Amino acid sequence: MVNEIIIAGFGGQGVLSMGKILAYSGLMEGKEVSWFPSYGPEQRGGTSNVTVILSDNVISSPIVSEYDIAIILNQPSLEKFESQVKPGGILLYDPDGIHRPPTRKDISIYKVDAMAKATEMQNQKAFNMIVLGGLLKVKPIVDLEHVMMGLKKTLPVRHHGLLPMNEKAIITGMEIVEEIK
């Protein structure tokens, strides 16, 4: 079983850290994982993306031509990556910042109102965990217990008090994600 995932959005949206948590979660489940970021000035604004691969077998290339799952958090990323989702794959997006929604018919498309929800929760930092929750609902590639273990591994110890908030955000994401038909 292999999942090749691209997560793309603006720098500062937590794209890279969401990928990192996903990768660590896979690691906690004993999977082979790779995490390859777009790096450089993009980290400080601009668009940013990360390729995460979770696999039961050794991963050949950390860079792939098409993806099983695309998590899209802004318009430029949608334009770049919609065509690179494998037929039958999944595209999950946050409608905030997307003014021309995806149009493909041969893939499953979901939306998660994470930005709106995070604002409502008055917790912008929960944003990427809400998105992650949405993904885990539509495709449970790792279970929640391992996600929490992965989160614990990536968060510095001084931030471990934030773990319950993050778990809540993931569960919220699972609740609000919806399929676009």
Partner 1 sequence: MKGNEAVAHAAIRLGVDGYFGYPITPQSEILETLMAEAPWKTTGMVVLQAESETASINMVYGGAGCGKAVMTSSSSPGLSLMQEGLSYLAAGSLPCLVINVMRGGPGLGTIQPSQSDYFQTVKGGGHGDYKMVTLAPASVQEMSDFVGLGFELAFKHSTPVMILTDGVIGQMMEKVKLPEFRRRRTEEEIRKQCPWATLGKTPDRKPNIITTLELDAHAMERININLQEKYRKIEESEIRYQEIDCDDMDYLIVAFGSAARISQKAAELAKAEGIKVGIIRPITLWPYPSDIINQYASKVKGILTVEFNAGQMVEDVRLAVNGKVPVEHFGRLGGIIPTPFEVVSALKQKLIK
CB nearer to partner 1: give 39 or 178: 39
Could you say which DSSP state residue 101 is in? -
CB nearer to partner 1: give 27 or 109: 27
CB nearer to partner 1: give 63 or 163: 63
Quote the CA–CA distance of 106 and 57 in Å, as a whole number. 27
- Considering the rule CB under 8 A, would residue 97 count as an interface residue with partner 1? no
- Considering the rule CB under 8 A, would residue 83 count as an interface residue with partner 1? no
Residues 37-75 as b/e (b if ≥16 CB within 10 A, e otherwise) read bbeeebeeeebbbbbbbbbeeeeeeeebeebbbbbbbbb
CB nearer to partner 1: give 40 or 164: 40
Instruction: Find the shortest distance in angstroms from Cβ 116 to partner 1.
Output: 31
Q: Are 22 and 85 in contact (CB under 8 A)?
A: no
CB nearer to partner 1: give 66 or 175: 66
Instruction: Find the shortest distance in angstroms from Cβ 38 to partner 1.
Output: 9
- Give the per-residue contact string, 32-71, with partner 1 (x = CB under 8 A; - = no): xxxxxx-xx------------------xxxxxxxx-----
Q: How many of the other CB atoms lie within 10 Å of CB of 180?
A: 12
Give Cβ neighbours of residue 79 (< 8 Å, ≥ 6 apart): none
Instruction: Find the shortest distance in angstroms from Cβ 35 to partner 1.
Output: 4
Distances (CA, A) of 13 to 45, 55, 114, 157: 9, 26, 11, 22
Instruction: Find the shortest distance in angstroms from Cβ 66 to partner 1.
Output: 8
Q: Which residues bind partner 1 (CB under 8 A)?
A: 20, 23, 27, 32-37, 39-40, 59-66
